[in-house]
A and B are shown apart, each in its own frame.
Chain A
Amino acid sequence: MRSVFDRTKQITRLFRHTDDSRLIGHIVILKVSKKAHMTAGKRTEVKHFMIELNNVSKSYDGKRNAVDNVTLSIHNGEIFGFLGPNGAGKTTALKLITGLLSPDTGSITIDGFDIEKDALEAKRRFAFVPDNPEVFTRLKAIEYLRFIGDVYGVDGEVRKARVEDLTKKFGIADVLNQQIKTFSHGMQQKLILVGALLHDPDAWILDEPMTGLDPASSFTLKTMMREHADAGKTVLFSTHILDVAEKVCDRLGIIDDGKLIFVGTVNELREHYQDDSSLESLFLRLVSDAEHAAHGDSLIE
């Protein structure tokens, strides 16, 4: 086991490698340049932030923060992945961003609109797919899609074309006349994805979107995420699958015990640890460091 001294050295090195770094408690957070960033070999011009969190905290019990003073900016044209152990606060963070939960402190904006104050404008700009498919199970799939089309005001012709296209892509075109309760978990997930993408939102916010999807649909979704980001729009998603995060994400945010302990690219994480190993091993080291720090082994005094 590495000593606290070694860890301190590493974190300090990490601090040195960043051009804009901040300390939150004992944890160092990287911030990438706002001018531009690398996206899997492709450079995307950054116009402004699509999703911004400023000092956001949320506690369920008044004692422990499920999300602890998180500040984060997600750009247009990038795929941002939220990683973290179970119960780290990923889902809570996504629920805060989408307005499902209200933050105790701080503010959140979507495309410049405050999710609390300009809720309707903010909501028009994103689609959210939760980790558990929560849907009106006694509606037929076509009725659900019509409902979504109606509440987002999707034009009739556009709606028809997108339903046809998306349901074919996800392989649910043949079951549109069935009640959703007869669908498997994966099928429900696909339907919610189709519904979420029906109004062609600027930002996709997806909580564990690959869960329950078959390999073909998972591949389709990843391709669509890439296309969406390449079109200058934003994808924010949480995942446990580090392989997916490594291949798909332009930037990562690693959250542990409610705190954002790392924000940056996989390469930056490798650079920090001076280690070419997989994201999995880097992730485990980072989380381990953060846990030690949280338990009082002060890394940076």
Chain B
Amino acid sequence: MKQFLILMRPLWAEMIGSLSQGVGATRSKKKKSGKSRSKAATVILYVFLFLMFSFYSFMLGVGLTRSLMTFGAEDFFIKIIAMAAPVLAVVFGILQAIPTLYHESSIESLLVLPVKPATITAAKLTQSFIPIFLITTVLCYPSLIAHGIIAKRPWGYYVQSVPFMFYVTVAPFAITAILVLVMMRYTKWARNKDRFQLIASIVTVLMIVAFSLFANLQGSDGFFEDGGIFSDPATGMLLNRLVKFVPTSAFGTAMLINANRWSTLLYSLIACVLNVLSVGLLLIVANKIYIRGVLGVKGGQSAKQLTATETVKKLTPRSAYQAIVHKEWVLLLRTPAFFTQTIFFVLFFPVIMVVSFAISFSRSSDTSEAGFNLINFLRTWISSGGWKDSLWIIVLIVGGMAAFFSGTALISASAISRQGATFNISKIIPVPLRTQVLAWLTPGLYLMVGIWIIITVALAIFLHMPFSLALLIFVVALINSYSMQMLGFLIDMKSPLLTWSNEVEAVKNTRASTVSSLGDFAYIGVSVGLAFLVRWLTAHNNLAVGIAVLVFYILVAILMTVLVRQTARRLFQTVEL
């Protein structure tokens, strides 16, 4: 135990360090006062993030519980949380466990220490679990508390809610980690950690999307099942299905629902035993195969030798711009963390959202008692020319969506940080900075153009849009995507994270990613505020509002361009490794 605690100290520091570095707390070696300011900024930023997510979670708990209470189905809320928490644990488990267990630089330094392998294994597993637990708790626990207050749960509910969070995250993480460990040790394809992480991330995200679509397509009849372990007519139908998939969540839910009965202790005990068993199994498995798996991953790989002709072909000269753009694309596509956090996200999520909405809208027409069909309504609205009177709403919605997608895409927002120590190569090569900046921005801008062509064409076909409306949507989307890409890039130039230990940090833990993904909300808020202000000032002149919002978007885009140009000019002087 003592050795475990000693090992956890540097690992904990590594975790915290990567987070604080990520928002620029330890960026500058130059000025101590600047460093203190950055630390204070980091603390403020994290407190803000914590409060923001807690607030969202709390409000979700309030809203959903109230809605469910009107049907007398408030217990269903606990089941939702009991399902959401394991999903988060699995998703983040896959994304977090692989890099933490196999990619971190600390692994090699730990392996040579005179410490039992079991202790190293336990320490690394703890290190990978803590962030997952924290994220899940911040996203779920305030909801549970809000639910307890609104649904007037007994005091036992609040007491039991603490172990509940452990029960619904520990076991799913343990099972996920076991799968990761087994695959890393025994499957050849998983030995290539890049390939494994890439495939695992894609499969995980696709499974969750498929699960969401499946849940969306489920009729309400699916919830009513008889028999099974839980015989209580009020909750049994909910839990009997859940217990088949995530037993710890089922017993955890039962524990909270029955918080005012003695049976809560029984359910708590069962959930606890299941968790202990899964952790025990994880430790046994990890103890046997983890270290060997890590060592196996370190092996080299062979590749086909090049012939003389191939060598000549592969050395064909290009311009410096093309060379840098090609390098950017190759690194984005070959680095799993970069790919999943940038290209994969930006390509798949808008498409999946469009598909989800389409399915939802189609289904709403089938099931609605009033016979309201949103798709048909939109088609009629567009074909009748009604959209021209609501131009400002279209501009706002499209601008907001574009800003949101682009703000979370993080391709340009991580363009400098992704370079890490190789930023020195950018500094040394005799290529003008403007050429390099353009090349760094190219992938993000190209992808944004690509994705908005797909979305616009899909919407135009689906909703029978006239060309002018499709063009307007495309232009508004493009301007806003551009502004958000430039905002992310600007922040990344000012506060890059160049000393990361694993690649996820370079994309996710940077100040640019935080500002970029939160800045879009501020931007959307300002544009909506402006729209309503102009609407009030012009006595509801919709055309004037639309034009004002569009002009605002264009001005922001110009401002971002100017700021990027100014900052880029001094980039090599201000950023030192």
Complex-state Cα separation, A62 to B330, whole angstroms: 40
Q: Let me know if B306 and A177 touch, CB within 8 A.
A: yes
Complex-state Cα separation, A153 to B330, whole angstroms: 21
**Residues of B contacting A175 in the complex (Cβ-Cβ under 8 angstroms):** 303
Q: Let me know if B429 and A99 touch, CB within 8 A.
A: no
- Find the A residue at minimum CB distance from B421: A134
Measured CB to CB, the closest approach of chain B to A49, in angstroms, equals 20
Which residues B5-34 have CB closer than 8 A to chain A? 29-32
Of the four ranges (under 10, 10 to 19, 20 to 34, 35 or more), the interface on chain B belongs to 35 or more
**Residues of A contacting B422 in the complex (Cβ-Cβ under 8 angstroms):** 134-136
Measured CB to CB, the closest approach of chain B to A244, in angstroms, equals 24
Stretch at the interface among A14-22, A124-132, A233-241, A285-293: A124-132
Does B226 sit within 8 A of A, measured CB to CB? no
Q: Let me know if B428 and A99 touch, CB within 8 A.
A: yes
Stretch at the interface among B65-73, B314-322, B533-541: B314-322
Complex-state Cα separation, A177 to B424, whole angstroms: 24
Does A101 sit within 8 A of B, measured CB to CB? yes
**Residues of A contacting B324 in the complex (Cβ-Cβ under 8 angstroms):** 147, 151
**Residues of B contacting A51 in the complex (Cβ-Cβ under 8 angstroms):** none
Does A120 sit within 8 A of B, measured CB to CB? yes
Complex-state Cα separation, A1 to B477, whole angstroms: 77
Does A149 sit within 8 A of B, measured CB to CB? yes
Complex-state Cα separation, A100 to B498, whole angstroms: 14
- Picked from B303, B323, B326, B424, the residue with its CB within 8 Å of the CB of A178 is B303
Which residues A162-195 have CB closer than 8 A to chain B? 163-164, 174-179, 182
Q: Let me know if B315 and A156 touch, CB within 8 A.
A: yes
- Find the A residue at minimum CB distance from B328: A136
Provide the B328-359 mask, 1 if CB < 8 A to any CB of A, else 0: 00110011000000000000000000000000
Q: Let me know if B327 and A136 touch, CB within 8 A.
A: yes
Q: Let me know if B327 and A139 touch, CB within 8 A.
A: yes
Stretch at the interface among B144-152, B173-181, B569-577: B569-577
Q: Let me know if B320 and A153 touch, CB within 8 A.
A: yes
- Picked from B311, B320, B576, the residue with its CB within 8 Å of the CB of A151 is B320
**Residues of A contacting B32 in the complex (Cβ-Cβ under 8 angstroms):** 61-62
- Picked from B31, B323, B327, B429, the residue with its CB within 8 Å of the CB of A62 is B31
**Residues of A contacting B29 in the complex (Cβ-Cβ under 8 angstroms):** 60-61
- Given contacts A142-B315, A145-B315, A146-B323, whether A120 and B573 have CB atoms under 8 Å apart is no
**Residues of B contacting A164 in the complex (Cβ-Cβ under 8 angstroms):** 311
Complex-state Cα separation, A79 to B554, whole angstroms: 56
Provide the B294-322 mask, 1 if CB < 8 A to any CB of A, else 0: 00000011111110000110111111101
Q: Let me know if B576 and A132 touch, CB within 8 A.
A: no
How many cross-chain pairs have Cβ atoms below 8 Å apart between A and B?
Answer: 119
Measured CB to CB, the closest approach of chain B to A77, in angstroms, equals 23
Which residues B419-448 have CB closer than 8 A to chain A? 421-422, 424-425, 427-432
Which residues B52-81 have CB closer than 8 A to chain A? none
Does A31 sit within 8 A of B, measured CB to CB? no
Q: Let me know if B304 and A124 touch, CB within 8 A.
A: no
- Picked from B303, B311, B312, B334, the residue with its CB within 8 Å of the CB of A138 is B334
Measured CB to CB, the closest approach of chain A to B27, in angstroms, equals 13
- Picked from A100, A152, A154, the residue with its CB within 8 Å of the CB of B424 is A100
**Residues of A contacting B30 in the complex (Cβ-Cβ under 8 angstroms):** 60-62
- Picked from A152, A159, A160, A177, the residue with its CB within 8 Å of the CB of B430 is A152
Q: Let me know if B317 and A159 touch, CB within 8 A.
A: yes
Does A123 sit within 8 A of B, measured CB to CB? yes
**Residues of A contacting B425 in the complex (Cβ-Cβ under 8 angstroms):** 134-136
Measured CB to CB, the closest approach of chain B to A253, in angstroms, equals 22
Measured CB to CB, the closest approach of chain B to A109, in angstroms, equals 15
- Given contacts A150-B322, A150-B323, A151-B324, whether A138 and B314 have CB atoms under 8 Å apart is no
Measured CB to CB, the closest approach of chain A to B106, in angstroms, equals 18
B: which residues have CB within 8 A of A?
29-32, 194, 300-306, 311-312, 314-320, 322-324, 326-327, 330-331, 334-335, 421-422, 424-425, 427-432, 572-573, 576-577
- Identify 10 residue pairs between A and B in the complex whose beta-carbon atoms are under 8 Å apart, listed by A's number: A62-B32, A120-B431, A123-B429, A134-B421, A135-B422, A149-B317, A154-B317, A156-B317, A160-B312, A179-B303
- The 6 A-B residue pairs whose C-beta atoms are closest, nearest first, are A150-B323, A123-B430, A134-B421, A138-B334, A151-B429, A178-B303
Besides A146-B316, A147-B323, 17 new A-B residue pairs in contact (Cβ under 8 A), listed by A number: A62-B30, A99-B428, A100-B427, A100-B576, A132-B421, A135-B422, A139-B331, A148-B429, A149-B317, A150-B323, A151-B430, A151-B431, A156-B315, A160-B312, A176-B306, A178-B303, A179-B334
